[in-house]
Amino acid sequence: LKWQDPIKSAQLYFEKFPEEKTPVWTNPCQDPRHQAILPPTLNCTNMTLPNLLILGPQKTGSTALANFLTLHPNVSQNSPIPGSFEEVQFFGGANYLKGIDWYLSNFQNASIIFEKSATYFDNPVAPKQASSLIPNTKLVVILQNPTQRAYSWFQHLLAHKDPSALTAASFSEILEENPPETLRKIRQRCISGGRYVHHLGKWLEHFSLAQIMFIDADELRDEPARVLTALAKWLDLPDFPFETHLRYSPSKGFHCRLIEGKTKCLGESKGRKYPKMSDVEREKLDKIFGLDNSALYKFLRKNRLKIPNWLEESVRIRA
Ligand code: A3P
């Protein structure tokens, strides 16, 4: 045995095991050794850890789902986080290093405490980090036609004046197999989130299928009250008349909350107005997602889960 300066020995350790540089937070209340040294601010009888995560992916209607779910009196969402579209973005993100205290400080007690971070779904480390801290949480994944999702994401980048997106001559250019260097990352970001089965595989390494609810994005858009009622039932929440609190707004083109007789819609970044995707772009994207969609179809069928119409259609066209 030899004495080593602790800082040096830590440096040596992390050189040897770089993958351990990021700690993995577990629930301190489930380990007696941790419980014994908890700060008095952390109350194990009243832990406000979420029991529901809405995983996204981005551009699937996740904000609408979260916003409408909070109508239920027994549900509480995280307090808004400035700078990240109000999302906590804890698992798999920079906020993870802020620690459990920080995470907990965003929530208030309720039967269902939830957060929606649409960055989670296709994040490679989020499943492990989430299951380490909240192994029994329920998860929601929204299945949007990946072709539509990719286009919506591109429009989002344009609206945010993303410098690379602005260099694209057209959306079609991004979809080329080998786009110019500046557009490669955008192509990847448009496509990645729609590769459902690939990402689901990672979540299913850490969670059981029974913990996940799949929502069809088209149903959520067209009949949000029905979707919310089914979700509330799955969450064992008391019945709630979502239909009396939601109203379709012809000017917005989407359902909105109804407050004192007036519709309160999501902000202009949700349900944007932009030109329709061209048939050529649609065909290119459908081809890109062909194998992923077939895999999703098989996965849902095998597990006797409902197949969205858009997926039936896309698999039928390919056959
Ligand atoms: P577009 O703005 O491209 O139409 P997310 O919140 O996951 O980023 O998803 C944004 C998308 O939610 C919007 O994309 C819109 O199509 C969809 N959406 C579904 N229901 C909505 C609603 N009630 N209000 C606004 N957008 C809604």
pLDDT digits (tens, 9 = 90+) for 266-315: 999 999 999 999 999 999 999 999 999 999 999 999 999 999 999 999 98
Spacing, Cα 40 to ligand 1 middle (Å)? 42
Helix (H, G, I), strand (E, B) or coil at 289: coil
The DSSP string of 146-167 is HHHHHHHHHHHHHHTT-HHHHH
**199 close to 293: Cβ distance less than 8 angstroms:** no
Count of CB atoms situated within 10 Å of the CB of 142: 27
Q: How far is the CA of 144 from the centre of ligand 1 (A)?
A: 10
Tokens found for residue 226: 């029905």
**Half-sphere exposure of 165 toward its Cβ, with a 13 Å CA cutoff?**
19
The pLDDT of residue 47: 85
What's the one-letter identity of residue 222? Answer: D
Q: Say yes or no: CB of residue 62 within 6 Å of ligand 1.
A: yes
Pocket flag, ligand 1, residue 270 (CB < 6 Å): yes
Cα separation, 50 vs 112, in Å, equals: 7
φ/ψ (deg, to 5) at 39: -65, 150
Whether the CB of 151 sits within 6 Å of ligand 1: no
> CB of 221 closer than 6 A to ligand 1?
yes
Residue 92 — left, alpha, or beta (φ > 0 → left; ψ -120 to 50 → alpha)? left
Burial 290-308 (b: 16+ CB within 10 A, else e): eebbbbbbebbeeeeeebb
pLDDT, position 82:
79
- 172: Cβ contacts below 8 Å, ≥ 6 apart: 278, 280, 281, 284
Three-state secondary structure call for residue 319: coil
176 vs 284: CA distance, rounded Å:
9
What value of ipTM does the predicted structure carry?
Answer: 0.99
pLDDT tens, residue by residue, 14-29: 999 998 888 899 999 9
Instruction: Please state whether beta strands 138-143 and 52-56 pair in parallel, antiparallel, or not at all (unpaired).
Output: parallel
Q: What is the pLDDT along the chain (319 residues), one digit of tens a residue?
A: 788 899 999 999 999 999 888 889 999 998 888 888 888 878 788 789 999 999 999 999 999 999 999 999 999 999 988 777 789 999 999 999 999 989 999 999 999 999 999 999 999 999 999 999 999 999 999 999 999 999 999 999 999 999 989 988 889 998 988 888 889 999 999 999 999 999 999 999 999 999 999 999 999 999 999 999 999 999 999 999 999 999 999 999 999 999 999 999 999 999 999 999 999 999 999 999 999 999 999 999 999 999 999 999 998 887 7
Question: Of 289, 297, 315, whose CA–CA distance to 149 is shortest?
Answer: 289
pLDDT of 168:
86
Domain ranges in the chain are 23-144+195-240, 146-193+258-279, 289-319
CATH code: domain 23-144+195-240 is 3.40.50.300
Q: Looking at the DSSP assignment, which residues form a beta bridge with residue 214?
A: 141
Residues 53-83, buried b or exposed e (16+ Cβ, 10 A)? Answer: bbbbbbbbbbbbbbbbbebbeebbbbeebee
pLDDT score, position 179 = 85
Catalytic residue IDs: 59
pLDDT at 217: 98
Cα of 59 vs centre of ligand 1, distance in Å, is 6
For a mutational test of ligand 1's pocket, the pick from 58, 60, 62, 63, i.e. the residue with the most ligand atoms closer than 8 A to its C-beta, is 63
Angle of the 290-302 helix axis to the 309-318 helix axis, nearest 10: 120
